[in-house]
Amino acid sequence: MSALPPGSTIGILGGGQLGRMLAMSAAQLGYRCHIFAPERESVAAEVSASFTCANWHDTEALTQFAQDCDVITYEFENVPVGPLAKLPQDMLAPAPRALEVAQDRAREKRFIQDAGGTPADFVAIDHDSELADAVERIGVPGILKTRRDGYDGKGQWSINERADAQGVRIPESGCVYEARMNFECEFSVILVRGRDGEVRFWDSTRNRHDDGILAHCELPAPAIVAAQVEQARDMARKVANALNYIGVLTLEFFATAGGPVFNEMAPRVHNSGHWTIEGAVTSQFENHIRAICGLPLGTTDSTSAKIMMDNLIGEGALDLARHLSRPGAHVHLYGKSEARAGRKMGHVTRVG
């Protein structure tokens, strides 16, 4: 594929804040964006040229959407893969196989194992009767996770003792039960892979989660991350190459005494990379647009040795004056009108 010229249309499947920031980066490079999402309220559509509001399985609407686009990407990894089969496959970047892998936690972990990586010990569970055996095999404490549709701590339950597993109903799509890791910290490896196979990495931040939701990222990360990041990057590069991936890909890891342990994968731009808008020479959003459009990748170097990013979550998140009173604050609000517990309303980055 030759590079798409400015004025071309980028289709984005999903209408949330990641799509919003992708569309803003695309506009900076002279592209127009067309959003496809089932929710009528779309913060991505607010900053885009076109918007199709339709069900994921509305084949006619999806086909018409594709006819208006020169390339199509995702801001949401749970886009149903089935309907995408009816679209020209060379328009989709990354290819739907990345979605297929990431949408099923058991398949994702097996894929990582096949690529030589190390996930936490786990057992796939399809029926209620299998949970007790899984807990016996893996032990406690552990975490029970739905195989599909989990994010920001949703679809997860702690099993701290064997009695906690009694009476639990396994959904039709299944679950995985995995060991709770003893780790020093969490970190992400975020890469971008171009259409020519070139791979570049951003620095890895230390990530802190509150109630399963990413709350804070910071550079520099602790020494244990610096010691393990090359091994984790090697794993991420193998995954990207195996998928023939195009765009930004994120793998999350636990830094443990025994080395980096894979947690989960996101085939898209990622919350732990929001700091790159001000904190890197080229942000994850701009580099994703560059990659899918066949353009040269931008430098991923950090602009400072010290960078912090905080998510603005729930009540009080829209107090713009308070956020801007912080020295050096770069505030990004996502245009969401209703603040509620656990909802990401924006983020603030401080560089240097």
Task: Say whether 86 counts as a known binding-site residue.
Answer: no
Amino acid residing at 183:
F
- 70 near 30, Cβ under 8 Å? no
Q: Is 9-92 assigned to CATH 2.60.120.10?
A: no
Q: Which residues pair with 22 in a beta bridge?
A: none
The pLDDT value recorded for residue 188 is 98
- Quick one: DSSP state of residue 185? E
The pLDDT value recorded for residue 129 is 87
- 265 near 243, Cβ under 8 Å? no
Span 185-351 CATH architecture: 2-Layer Sandwich (3.30)
Domain edges within the chain: 9-92, 121-179, 185-351
Q: pLDDT per residue over 141-175, tens digit each?
A: 999 999 987 665 567 889 998 888 888 899 988 99
Task: Say whether 151 counts as a known binding-site residue.
Answer: yes
Q: What's the full length of the chain, in residues?
A: 352
- 320 near 332, Cβ under 8 Å? no
pTM: 0.95
Task: Say whether 105 counts as a known binding-site residue.
Answer: yes
Phi-psi label, residue 302: left if phi above 0, alpha if psi -120 to 50, beta otherwise: beta
Q: What are phi and psi of 276, to 5 degrees?
A: -70, -15
DSSP secondary structure string, 333-345? E---S---TT-EE
Cα torsion 124, 128, 134, 136 to 10°: value is 180
Pick the CATH number of 121-179 from 3.30.1490.20, 3.40.50.150, 3.40.50.10490, 3.40.640.10: 3.30.1490.20
Tell me the two tokens of residue 272: 């732990």
Q: pLDDT per residue over 181-218, tens digit each?
A: 999 999 999 999 999 999 999 999 999 999 889 999 99
Task: Say whether 174 counts as a known binding-site residue.
Answer: no
Over residues 317-325, the mean pLDDT reads 92
When pLDDT is cut at 50, 70 and 90, the band that residue 121 belongs to is very high
Task: Say whether 17 counts as a known binding-site residue.
Answer: no
Task: Say whether 31 counts as a known binding-site residue.
Answer: no
Task: Say whether 7 counts as a known binding-site residue.
Answer: no
